[in-house]
C-alpha cells in the first residue's frame, strides 16, 4: 500500500496551556505580587483537573514566578528592587559586551534605519523627559556610526542605568510602594 506522507498532528499538553495562561497573567500583574494562587478556582475556571494546574505551578516555581510554601499554598513571587537591579545589571553587561560585535557587523544601512526610527520616536513624544531618552538613543547611534566602541559602551551604559532606575521607580509606583530592599 502506497501512502502520501502525512504531517504529524501537534497537540499541546493541557499543562503547557495552563502554564502559558498563568505565566501571562503573572507577568501582566493580573495576579498581584504576593497573592495566593487558588488551584481549585483556576482548575474550575479553566475546566481542567487540578493536576495540570499543579504541574504548571511547578514549572512557574522553577521559573521563579511563584513560590510554593509548604502547608500554606502557592504565591506569586514578590520581586524586590534588588531583584530588578540584578536582572537589569545582567542585561546591561550583555549589551555592553555586544558593542564590539555590533560595531564590526552593523552596516551603514542598519545605522541609517536606527537613526530614522529614533527620529520618528523623538518626533512623536510630547514629554521633555521622553525627548531626553531619545537623545540618549541618538548618542548611542552617533557612537556606533563613528565605530567608537568606548563611546558606544559609555552611551549605552548611561542609557541602561537611567532606564533601570526609571523602570524600578515605575514598578514601585505601580505597586504602591516607595522602596523595597
Q: pLDDT by residue (tens digit) across 123-172?
A: 887 665 667 788 999 999 999 999 999 999 999 999 998 888 888 887 77
Residue 76 burial class via C-beta count within 10 angstroms: exposed 0-12, middle 13-18, buried 19 and up: buried
pLDDT tops 70 at residue 24: yes
CA 12, CA 67: separation in Å to the nearest integer? Answer: 25
- How many domains, in total, are found in the chain? 2
CA-nearest of 80, 20, 71, 26 to 46 is: 20
Are 45 and 104 within one domain?
no
pLDDT band at 181 (very low <50, low <70, confident <90, very high): very low
CA 31, CA 77: separation in Å to the nearest integer? Answer: 10
CA 74, CA 6: separation in Å to the nearest integer? Answer: 43
Are 89 and 155 within one domain?
yes
- In a domain, residue 92? The reply is yes
For 103-129, how does the pLDDT look when each residue is reduced to its tens digit (9 = 90+)?
Answer: 999 999 999 999 999 988 888 876 656
Are 95 and 168 within one domain?
yes
CA dihedral 43→40→63→35, nearest 10 degrees, is 130
Domain that holds residue 72: 14-76
Amino acid at each position: 500500500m502506497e501512502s502520501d506522507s502525512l504531517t504529524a498532528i501537534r497537540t499541546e499538553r493541557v499543562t503547557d496551556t495552563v502554564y502559558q495562561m498563568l505565566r501571562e497573567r503573572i507577568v501582566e500583574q493580573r495576579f498581584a505580587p504576593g497573592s495566593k494562587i487558588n488551584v481549585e478556582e483556576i482548575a474550575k475556571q479553566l475546566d481542567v483537573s487540578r493536576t495540570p494546574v499543579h504541574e504548571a505551578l511547578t514549572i512557574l516555581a522553577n521559573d521563579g514566578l511563584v513560590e510554593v510554601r509548604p502547608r500554606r499554598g502557592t504565591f506569586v513571587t514578590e520581586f524586590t528592587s534588588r531583584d530588578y537591579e540584578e536582572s537589569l545589571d545582567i542585561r546591561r553587561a550583555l549589551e555592553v559586551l555586544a558593542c564590539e560585535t555590533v560595531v564590526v557587523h552593523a552596516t551603514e544601512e542598519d545605522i541609517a534605519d536606527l537613526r530614522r526610527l529614533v527620529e520618528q520616536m523623538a518626533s512623536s513624544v510630547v514629554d521633555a523627559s521622553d525627548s531626553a531618552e531619545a537623545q540618549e538613543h541618538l548618542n548611542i547611534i552617533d557612537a556606533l556610526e563613528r565605530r567608537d566602541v568606548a563611546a558606544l559602551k559609555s552611551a549605552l551604559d548611561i542609557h541602561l542605568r537611567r532606564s533601570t532606575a526609571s523602570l524600578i521607580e515605575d514598578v514601585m509606583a505601580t505597586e504602591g510602594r516607595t522602596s523595597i530592599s
